């Protein structure tokens, strides 16, 4: 893979899928932490410079600063990619256990039962956090806005 193509892939991963940028801002109690959860799919840990295995040419100072004061994961298993990886992350179920979130019918048709497989950010919302989701959606037509997220800016086909 050419370097320019690889850099463009990294840039797109950060910009177009910041569902990872599931941002939470605590507004009611000062003793609760602010939580910024960044989730990117199709991205290697070698493309973030705070990891020791990062390519030598990778420079991500802003993400490195967040990582220095927060939690970062050194091992993860998702078992899938794209829409199923987001469904897995949002519901906490393995990809075969996400029974109610399926692409169905004419694109972007989908079915989703939030009672059966709730998105975990809704729990934060129920406990007084202001929740936001920013980035690529591609998980059907039900984005959870107003139920799971107080604020949402998504890039989603065909919207």
84, 138 Cβ separation under 8 angstroms: no
Which residues, 6 or more positions from 60, have their beta carbon under 8 angstroms from its beta carbon? Answer: 47, 48, 49, 50
Q: Which of 5, 21, 82, 117 is catalytic?
A: 82
Cα angle value 90/15/78 (rounded, 5°): 35
Max CA separation in the chain (angstroms) = 49
> What is the distance between the alpha carbons of residues 154 and 159, in angstroms, rounded to a whole number?
9
Q: Is 117 a catalytic residue?
A: no
> What is the distance between the alpha carbons of residues 146 and 11, in angstroms, rounded to a whole number?
29
Q: Is 82 a catalytic residue?
A: yes
Residues designated as active site: 82, 138
């Amino acid at each position: 893979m050419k370097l320019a193509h690889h850099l463009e892939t990294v840039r797109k991963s950060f910009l177009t899928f910041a569902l990872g940028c599931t941002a939470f801002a605590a507004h009611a109690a000062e003793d609760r932490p602010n939580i910024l959860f960044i989730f990117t799919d199709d991205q290697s840990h070698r493309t973030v410079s705070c990891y020791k295995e990062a390519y030598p040419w990778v420079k991500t100072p802003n993400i490195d600063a967040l990582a220095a004061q927060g939690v970062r994961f050194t091992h993860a298993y998702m078992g899938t990619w794209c829409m199923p990886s987001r469904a897995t992350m949002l519901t906490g179920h393995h990809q075969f256990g996400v029974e109610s979130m399926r692409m169905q019918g004419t694109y972007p048709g989908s079915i989703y039962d939030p009672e059966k497989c709730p998105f975990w950010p809704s729990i934060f919302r129920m406990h007084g956090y202001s929740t936001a989701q920013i980035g690529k959606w591609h998980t059907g037509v039900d984005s959870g806005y107003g139920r799971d997220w107080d604020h949402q800016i998504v890039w989603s086909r065909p919207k």
